[in-house]
Chains A and B, each alone.
Chain A
């Protein structure tokens, strides 16, 4: 069983489209995160949810909207996609009570044409 899964693994789309990336975890963790790895390989946090509540919201365009339907899922919806959104997006999970280790999903490579 995959602990942290993301769908899709690859996503190619046109500028201006709206797309979603899904993340699911079966570790029973209470905190989930979205990270973005850009073309320079810089891995940077975007959002963090704890028990479905938004905890961290870094400086991210409001075209990006995370949604957590339940504690096991954190989806990322992106409106009006731009070329600069092309990146690899990683979902991660952890325990708020144990704030060190985070477990990452395999990533979703988004390419905006």
Chain B
């Protein structure tokens, strides 16, 4: 049972435009959500997070939005840059322990 889902395996965006990556979850006990970025042959690196008590968190070009009623979060990257091309994982924490439950990732390609 996959509790965190990223339904788009890939996304292609032009440089300078906005990238929007989506994530849905089913477990209402999740209280913290994170986005990780992963380049090939490297481990995931933390990008941005949001607590369930907030609906938006912004850090430079990256903004995460949380819609608790819809159990949906999204990551906005604007403007997108070629260096943003990577796999983006959505992750959630909660319901006991510090373990992260990951989605299957979205491959973002930012084209020139």
Contacts and interface: CB of A to CB of B under 8 A. Distances in A.
Interface stretch (A11-19, A76-84, A93-101): A93-101
A41 B99 contact: no
Contact of A40 (B45, B49, B101, B104): B104
Contacts of A64: none
A74 interface: no
A85 B100 CA distance: 21
Contact of B44 (A43, A45, A100): A43
Interface of B: 2, 32, 34, 36, 41-46, 49, 87, 89, 93, 97-102, 104-105
Contact of A102 (B46, B97, B101): B46
Contacts of B49: 100-101
Contact of A104 (B41, B45, B104): B45
Contacts of B42: 106-107
